[in-house]
Amino acid sequence: MWMTPKRSKMEVDESRVFRAEWTQRYLVVEPPEGEGALCLVCRRLVVATRERDVRRHYEAEHDYYERYVAEGERAALVERLRQGDLPVVVPLTPEERAARAGLGLARLLALKGRGWGEGDFVYQCMEVMLRDALPEHVSVLDGIDLSPEVTRQRVLNINKNLRSQLFDRAKDFKAYSLALDDQAFVAYENYLLVFVRGVGQDLEVQEELLTIINLTRHFSVGALMAAILEALQTAGLSLQRMVGLTTTHTLRMIGENSGLVSYMREKAVSPNCWNVIHYSGFLHLELLSSYDVDVNQIINTISEWIVLIKTRGVRRPEFQALLTESESEHGERVNGRCLNNWLRRGKTLKLIFSLRKEIEAFLVSIGATTVHFTDKQWLCDFGFLVDIMDHLRELSELLRVSKVFAAAAFDHICTFEVKLNLLQRHIEEKNLTHFAAFREVVDELKQHLKEDQKIFDPDRYQVVICRLQKEFERHFKDLRFIKKDLELFANPFNFKPEYAPISVRVELTKLQANTNLWNEYRVKDLGQFYAGLSAESYPIIKGVACKVASLFDSNEICEKAFSYLTRNQHTLSQPLTDEHLHALFRIATTEIEPHWDDLVRGRNESNP
């Protein structure tokens, strides 16, 4: 979230003007001085009048008044507050405190990927601890019900509360983008995770899980499209506000004639004649062209080694670091698809490469085949794969930094493409400076081969790098299409007006001549600067800023979901409905805090 920028002396930003609907929504009124917003409850002045500042004050200090939800109740509450009649804040009853504790524990179990039945175990632990340490307080546990049925229902209630808050915020999105990740494999079923990134008037960015879709039941692209449109409609998001679409690079997503992206782009009509910007491969970058880079099916071979190590080499000290990392990522059990995706990450491959001698000795000891360790070509391919995936890992880590906007992410991608050109030239010259693992393999092979023997064929690896370059060009071509918009957004004061579209030249010239704005631009980050830019004076530039800010600039939220999935495969593989799975993924990825008072009240009214 962006810090609140200071008021510009020369600009009047419409987003800082008090809005009448805030009175009922946040219990504030416009003060007589006309500056800020005066809270009717605590009589404090919220100085920086942006909706996010007013909302944060209300949620942090006066969330109790959310129980007045009906329109008539709300209006009556405002009138009482205007007259100085503050409703008495009723403290929670013992039953409500017990319900609040049960909700908190249910959320914690969901976050840690624990099963519904473990609530009873937690209860027993607390009972033992209180009986020995604080025997006079054992009775507080009497009202806390952590049975599997109640815990399951509480998780669903928390999900409904979070979803309701997301939908309320989505109404104010000026622009939004979707991220579609179809790499979620739970047991024998495949799911599509749909994330939304929305931007409000003050450029406050919100990234949340919108829905999950069972691909086993929505096999056709038409059914998938219908499910996504239904989710958007439920959230109150019109396709006209959709700016960007980022996906994985599977055929289901980007197939030329039958992919989901082509269907979505036909349906969506963005404002100001912007086509929906699509870029694939941004999610799960390690899978981008991985089958082309893995020219010798090395990942499949390593997967077999890992399975053998986890079953027959678990006590060997040389593999403890590898096993520890595997269990931290996957828990005790993992399906083959998640294992292969994990192995394609550069950090993991480097660790396995460093253990290749130990793995060979282990395979010999159990009578498994070691033919790959005597295959010159396979070893060279292994070293090359380790280095290429490590370079991709470095890029992926840069793209994992959120809230930097797509302009910075695109710069990282362009830099990596230049790096690929350098790597290709080095391979052609047999210069392995930037191929540490490959160079290590070549040095070892030189000791066992004759001097005139050819160790590796540069053309083989040049072709692979060339394929990777083409994949980057294909997957990120839409970002090149809006390159000028990204440059204008990132450097508005250095962008030459004659290179800008005709429609924005007057605004850009006016902006660059404003000394106050220039001073703000130098001391603030882009988010702060554009949040304070007047939409009244610079409507086109502000519109471009909203659209660029709504594009996914990192894969952080998808990585969070994927990490949750791989760590908790065993728990998630238990019999779960799609609704429960949706609730678990939302709780694991959200940045929204549940409204606990609403949940407690709902529990007392209708739930067990």
Do the beta carbons of residue 202 and residue 51 sit within 8 Å? yes
Identify the weakest region by mean pLDDT among 78-92, 275-289, 322-336, 350-364.
322-336
- At 208 the pLDDT is 95
Identify the weakest region by mean pLDDT among 28-42, 138-152, 241-255, 502-516.
28-42
72 or 383, higher pLDDT: 383
- At 508 the pLDDT is 92
User: For a pLDDT cut of 90, what percent of the chain falls above it?
Assistant: 23
Helix (H, G, I), strand (E, B) or coil at 453: coil
Confidence of residue 535 (pLDDT cuts 50, 70, 90): confident
Query: Which tens digit of pLDDT belongs to each residue from 461-492?
Result: 998 899 889 888 888 888 888 888 888 888 89
Confidence of residue 179 (pLDDT cuts 50, 70, 90): very high
Query: Which tens digit of pLDDT belongs to each residue from 316-345?
Result: 888 888 877 766 555 555 555 566 666 766
Give the DSSP H or E segment for 490: helix 483-490
Average pLDDT taken over every residue of the chain: 82
Please check the confidence at residue 273 and state whether its pLDDT lies above 80: no
| pLDDT average, residue stretch 347-366 | 89
Please check the confidence at residue 451 and state whether its pLDDT lies above 50: yes
Residue 71's identity, in one-letter code, is: E
405 or 257, higher pLDDT: 405
Nearest CA to 359 out of 301, 273, 274 is that of 301
Q: Where are the domains of the chain?
A: 20-83, 156-281+571-601, 287-478, 491-550
Domain 156-281+571-601, classified CATH 3.40.50.2000, yes or no = no
| pLDDT average, residue stretch 250-263 | 82
Nearest CA to 405 out of 290, 547, 267, 518 is that of 547
- At 342 the pLDDT is 67
Nearest CA to 202 out of 19, 25, 41 is that of 19
- At 164 the pLDDT is 92
Pairing of strands 242-247, 175-186: parallel
**CB half-sphere exposure, 399, CA atoms < 13 A:** 28
Do the beta carbons of residue 221 and residue 251 sit within 8 Å? no
Query: Which tens digit of pLDDT belongs to each residue from 124-177?
Result: 888 898 888 888 888 888 888 888 898 999 999 999 999 999 998 898 899 999
- At 328 the pLDDT is 56
Task: Tell which phi-psi region holds residue 236, choosing left (phi > 0), alpha (psi between -120 and 50) or beta.
Answer: left
Helix (H, G, I), strand (E, B) or coil at 279: strand
- At 436 the pLDDT is 93
- At 532 the pLDDT is 83
- At 272 the pLDDT is 45
Do the beta carbons of residue 492 and residue 513 sit within 8 Å? no
Q: Residue 351 — φ and ψ, nearest 5°?
A: -65, -45
Number of other CB atoms surrounding residue 212 within 10 Å = 24
Could you tell me the pTM of the whole model?
0.81
- At 4 the pLDDT is 28
Confidence of residue 296 (pLDDT cuts 50, 70, 90): low
